[in-house]
Structure 1
């Protein structure tokens, strides 16, 4: 029997979260307008996966921890793992994932990953806590991969932009077969502003190490989404050709560089979590009308 989804609601928003991957399934305004991608596999079956214990691909899809080597697909195993519901209220729910025989075969650590979704007025808060329950330091990467509608509700053909709160122009890296090209490229942002169009992602996702702690997505007028990121310094943007969504992905860690080895600890911006230590990540999305 499939575990039920958590349904959260307040006067402003409604949200559904599935136990598989602790993944958001829908996000709607009180007027019933969809903000989150619906997971149509024609373009991409994901909606808002959680990325752990790696972000992006590994060279040859093989990871290593010291002498332990194992196959691992892009973005790790959490997104395809069944989480247990820990608690739920009308406006929040928490799901937990811990190690099991299958995870230990590829990633030899005892861990607890807790993902919490909460509605606070017109804001969605998503937090994740990772605890290392092993006796040795645990290397990993972590990220979120939510996809939001493009265009946003009632925007019609209005141009959409991603605008960084810092108005900066961060260097961009491209992906080569899912691996990060170490050579930085000139930023496509102009004074922190990037127009989203059909041609922007012809070569795949755009990755911005040390991207931004906050940004705005949407048209110049009308409904927009404002993002705040916590302990997630890397940013990726992705949209398959013709897809009616844009992924806005805050990460701590990225795909391996082309030519790198398999060690997780040597991946860009990898985290080394001490035994019994806990680290938290999160983002907030505020809906502005």
Structure 2
């Protein structure tokens, strides 16, 4: 069975999507529609901006979404998923790809999500850190022992977990994790504590937008970050998407469940190859590839 997977924030690069814009009339039309919806020329930033321009949350999230979704659309009949999943932001791309959300609605939600997360980041100084080489249970235990807000945020693959919270608590957790034997506990260059309770203001803002958006029955199941199991009910998908901002991304568990349900081939749709690497660490026998449009 074919699983299609969609990357999240951090996969962006200058020039992403330019080949699609130049060679596909459909892609060009969708990119221009996106410029109109967003109210600024995101294509100029994607194709000719600087790395710093592209790192702005209000730009990064819609840029990755657009690259992933437009690529899935120009693939046409080649795009035949038996199941889909997305890492954090990538979940929105996956929901457009499997027909749950319309392109315009998905982009609008992603833009609102990015702006709401940016605002939440400005309320309390916060950050994230990557922890390598420890069992998940040890990381979870140490986080609960630290005062302040620090929680597991991304279960990326065995031995790789990202934590999230206020700056003091994350720094204290990093020291405790290194003392417990972590190979690395490294603070990441991110704007805030994504997938933690500190994103509650953003979750409330995004919840209202999601509630007012039409969700259709998908063409295939999505393995969402929160339940990690196959979901095909539009109302349930909507509920899980609202919870996602303050809950951890359980990528390891999602991939394990996709494999258990028959996935043998994982195709990453969008910029980069990060998810392919994670899939191989979770399930060595899986076949992985990047979606390519000629």
Whether these two folds match at TM > 0.5 is no
Structure 1 or 2: larger helix share?
2
Scaled by the length of structure 1, the TM-score of the pair is: 0.27
Q: TM-score by structure 2 length?
A: 0.26
Which protein, 1 or 2, shows the higher relative CO under an 8 Å CA cutoff with sep ≥ 6?
2
Task: Choose between structure 1 and 2: higher strand proportion.
Answer: 1
